[in-house]
Structure 1
Amino acid sequence: MNQKMITIGRTASAAFPAEGIHDVPVKIDTGADSSSIWASELHMSKSGVLSFTLFGIGSPYYSGKRHTAKNYTASLIRSSNGNAQIRYKVPLSIELEGRKIRGTFTLADRSKNTYPVLVGCALLNKKFVVDVSKRSKIRPPAQHEKIGALTEELKQDPLGFFEKYHIDNQRGDIEL
């Protein structure tokens, strides 16, 4: 039976039923094949069982609940900036715009990302249509203070800003 496709915006609100967590802001990325979720405390047992927690201690979505996976794979993920990482990929259940979906997510440290979850094409395919003019009412934790401070720093000293963030930071590990 074919279900009607749901129109979704470039951001959305998700729930993770296994965590009992709702209103998690997610970024919809039609340029990404796979989906990714912030995971921490990854460990591998001697018997090959992967364990992890979703989100991180500083996150409002962190429950501390340990997840274990025997059914996982590894994927090479290349970001738009050319960096590549090998990540574990696990099946998870997500509720997106009222629709329950079982899909695979790569486990990544998304602690520095605005959105703790990224939903890619594989999860969206034949379930959602993306309307980029539409946005979720749920917003991620505020980043605008940091951006405002950066803008002010740039205005005050453009050359110093350039030297601090561009010349002296070729590895891209800026700490805000």
Structure 2
Amino acid sequence: MPVVGWRELVHLPELGLHELPAKIDTGARTSSLHATVLEKFERDGEQYVRFAVDFERQHVRQVCEAVHVDWRGITSSNGETQRRMIIKTPLRIGSLEFRVEISLADRSDMKFPMLIGRSALRRRFVVDSGHSWLQTPGRDVEKGYKT
């Protein structure tokens, strides 16, 4: 199985989000994306959500649309349970692309706009928590791993 570090650059191609810094977190079940929900709407009988992903350092706002799959109670690292909107979209880490469920959340206080939880990692990756950027070609990585 491919090895990921504790942080990786990931891609959400259907959302137009590329090289998104993500923290790998085996303690979290569900993956999470920093987003502001703008609108819920229906298209062809399916529920959709339009949301914005803000990159404050670059002064960029990416508006995305995805099928709204579910509402779930998600318990955050501080022990607080929040009702969050869940979407399902392809995620690419390194050369592997697969569909994942992602909760939309306010991660503005977090260092990483995305968190990859264990459900996305299960049976796909091994995590080496002592290293970073192992699936990010060309990124400077710690000694012992080639780019």
Look up the equivalent residue of 2:50 and give its one-letter code.
Answer: F
Offset, 1:95: 0.8
Correspondence for 2:47: 49
- Indicate if the aligned counterparts of 1:19 and 1:63 stay in contact, CA closer than 8 A: no
What's the CA shift for 1:62? 4.8
Aligned to 2:136: none
Residue of structure 2 equivalent to 1:81: 78
Match of 1:125 in 2: 122
Q: Is the 8 A contact 1:24 1:61 kept in 2?
A: no
The structure with the largest alpha-carbon Rg is 1
CA–CA separation in structure 1 for the residues paired with 2:122 and 2:72: 19
Which residue does 1:104 correspond to in 2? 101
Aligned-residue identity in percent: 28
Contact kept in structure 1, 2:6 and 2:132, CA below 8 Å? yes
Residue 66 of structure 1: CA displacement?
3.5
Give the conservation status (yes or no) of the 8 Å contact 1:56–1:111: no
> How far did 1:61 drift?
9.0
Q: State the SS of the aligned residue for 2:120.
A: helix
- After TM superposition, the score normalised by the length of structure 2 is 0.78
1:29-82 Cα deviation digits (max 9, x unpaired): 01001100111133224888342224126364955334042x410110112321
Cα distance in 1 for residues equivalent to 2:34 and 2:117: 14
- 2:34 and 2:53 in contact (8 A); partners too: yes
Aligned-partner SS, 1:123: helix
> Which residue does the alignment assign to 1:58?
56
**Secondary structure at 1:42 match in 2:** strand
| Residues 84-122 of structure 1, C-alpha deviations (whole Å, 9 max, x = no match) | 100011101111122111110001111221000000000
So what's the TM-score if we normalise by structure 1?
Answer: 0.66
Distance 1:29 1:37 in 2: 13
In structure 2, the CA distance between the partners of 1:35 and 1:77, relative to structure 1 (3 Å rule), is same
CA RMSD of aligned residues (A): 2.4
Task: Report how many residues are paired.
Answer: 133
CA 1:48–1:42: 2 relative to 1, 3 Å? farther
Gaps of 5+ in 2: 134-138, 141-147
Name which structure has the greater RCO, CA cutoff 8 Å, separation 6+. 2
Match of 1:34 in 2: 30
Q: Which has the higher strand share?
A: 2
Whole-Å Cα distance in 1 between the matches of residues 125 and 58 of structure 2? 27
